[in-house]
């Protein structure tokens, strides 16, 4: 079983564009389609959050009026990008929702665009008009959490993949998760997959 695992920063527009480029490279390397693409979302929550992209664009344009439309779009498309960055590359592949049935704060989901803007404001450099995206990306990466002990979600993610692979006799797939889940730390999702004997090709963005 071969798995390509993308460890991403959920807030970072550069992480999203890097992921899309890697997906193109993966497609070029393989003659067949992946058996699945696994995403760190619950499908219903993903749908609600992705629907807020246009609203986030409005918030960004109001907050930083000097940004052009390409920059605004690049940032707004980071909302739930783990769930659909494969579209246009692997269109007919089943999405495996790793965070299925997660108990979420519904108010936070409904205000996801507003909360994301607050995160961006904490990490932006208002003086970087010409390289705003690059500066934002660097600041977001600097604030990433250090390695932490495994969580129940790592166990859930790995178990979901094990069950799907066994049931469907899969040969290869793609997983898109936050960087911590793709780390070599004991108990992390990637670590559990490797212990199972899966070949994991990992790239962090």
pLDDT at 146 (0 to 100): 56
Q: What percentage of the chain has pLDDT greater than the value 70?
A: 95
Q: What is the mean pLDDT of residues 138-150?
A: 72
Domain extent listing, the chain: 2-204
Q: Report the DSSP beta bridge partners of residue 4.
A: 174, 201
Residues 167-203 pLDDT 10s: 999 999 999 999 999 999 999 999 999 999 999 999 9
Q: Cβ atoms within 10 A of the Cβ of 196, count?
A: 13
Residue 147's pLDDT is what? 53
Structure tokens at 158: 């790995």
Residue 97 is classified by DSSP as E
Longest dimension (CA), the chain: 53
pLDDT computed for residue 73 by the predictor: 96
At 131 the pLDDT is 87
CA atoms within 13 A of residue 197's CA, in its CB half-sphere? 3
Per-residue confidence band for 128, with pLDDT thresholds at 50, 70 and 90: low
pLDDT band at 166 (very low <50, low <70, confident <90, very high): very high
Taking each helix axis from N to C terminus, what angle separates 13-29 and 132-142, rounded to the nearest 10 degrees?
90
Between 69-76 and 13-29, two packed helices, what is the crossing angle to 10 degrees? 80
Q: What is the C-alpha end-to-end distance of the chain, expressed in Å?
A: 23
pLDDT (tens digit per residue) in 55-72: 999 999 999 999 999 999
* pLDDT number for residue 129: 64
CA within 13 Å, CB half, 142: 9
């Amino acid at each position: 079983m071969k798995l390509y695992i993308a460890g991403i920063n959920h807030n970072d527009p550069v992480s999203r564009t890097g992921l899309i480029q890697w997906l193109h490279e993966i497609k070029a390397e393989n003659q067949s389609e992946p058996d699945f693409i696994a995403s760190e979302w619950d499908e219903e929550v993903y749908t609600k959050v992705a629907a807020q992209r246009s609203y986030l664009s409005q918030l960004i344009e109001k907050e930083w009026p000097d940004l052009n439309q390409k920059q605004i779009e690049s940032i707004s498309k980071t909302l739930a990008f783990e769930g659909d960055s494969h579209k246009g590359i692997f269109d007919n592949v089943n999405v495996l929702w790793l965070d299925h049935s997660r108990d979420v704060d519904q108010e936070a989901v409904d205000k996801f665009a507003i909360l994301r803007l607050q995160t961006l404001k904490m990490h932006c450099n208002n003086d970087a008009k010409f390289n705003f995206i690059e500066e934002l990306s660097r600041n977001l990466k600097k604030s990433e959490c250090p390695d932490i002990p495994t969580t129940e979600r790592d166990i859930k993610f790995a178990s979901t993949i094990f069950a799907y692979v066994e049931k469907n006799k899969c040969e290869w797939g793609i997983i898109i998760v936050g960087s911590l889940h793709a780390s070599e730390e004991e108990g992390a999702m990637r670590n559990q997959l490797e212990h199972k004997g899966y070949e994991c090709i990992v790239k962090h963005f």
